[in-house]
Amino acid sequence: MRAVDIIMNKRAGKELSREEIGFLIGGYVAGEIPDYQVSAWAMAVFFQGMSPAETAVLTELMLKSGNTMDLSGISGPFVDKHSTGGVGDKTSLILAPIVAALGIKDPMMSGRALGHTGGTLDKLDAIPGYRTSLDIAEFRRILAKDGFAMTGQTKDIVPADRLLYALRDVTGTVESVPLITASILSKKVAEGADALVFDVKFGSGAFMKDAADGEKLARSLVDTGTAMGKRIIALLTDMNEPLGNMMGNFLEVEESLDCLEGKGAADLMEVTLELAARMVVLGGKAKDAAEGRRLCEDALASGKPRDLFLANIVSQGGDVKKFLDLRGTYRSPVSAEIRAEKSGFLSRIDAWKVGHAGVDLGVGRNRTEDAVSPTAGIQFHRKGGHSIAAGDLIMSVWARDEAGLAAALPQLRDAVEYAETETPARRLILKEIQS
Residues of the shown chain interacting with ligand URA in the complex, contacts defined by CB under 6 A: 84-85, 165, 174, 179-180, 183-184
Answer for the pair 407, 376: CB distance below 8 angstroms, yes or no: no
User: Closer CB to ligand URA, residue 85 or residue 283?
Assistant: 85
User: Closer CB to ligand URA, residue 196 or residue 300?
Assistant: 196
Q: How far is the CB of 315 from ligand URA (least distance, A)?
A: 25
In angstroms, the CA 214 to CA 221 distance is 11
User: Closer CB to ligand URA, residue 168 or residue 383?
Assistant: 168
Residues whose CB falls within 8 Å of the CB of residue 371, separated by 6 or more in sequence, listed in order: 365
Q: How far is the CB of 173 from ligand URA (least distance, A)?
A: 9
In angstroms, the CA 141 to CA 111 distance is 21
Q: How far is the CB of 113 from ligand URA (least distance, A)?
A: 12
Query: Which residue numbers are catalytic?
Result: 82, 161, 168, 183, 187
In angstroms, the CA 302 to CA 298 distance is 6
C-alpha 399: how far from chain center: 23
**Nearest residue to ligand URA, scored by beta-carbon proximity:** 183
Q: Is 335 helix (H, G, I), strand (E, B) or coil?
A: strand
User: Closer CB to ligand URA, residue 84 or residue 375?
Assistant: 84
262: left (phi over 0), alpha (psi -120 to 50) or beta: left
C-alpha 144: how far from chain center: 24
At residue 398, φ and ψ (nearest 5 deg) are: -125, 130
Q: How far is the CB of 165 from ligand URA (least distance, A)?
A: 6
Answer for the pair 335, 398: CB distance below 8 angstroms, yes or no: yes
User: Closer CB to ligand URA, residue 93 or residue 100?
Assistant: 93
Q: How far is the CB of 290 from ligand URA (least distance, A)?
A: 30
For 25-38, give one letter per residue: b (16+ CB within 10 A) or e. bebbbeeebeeebb
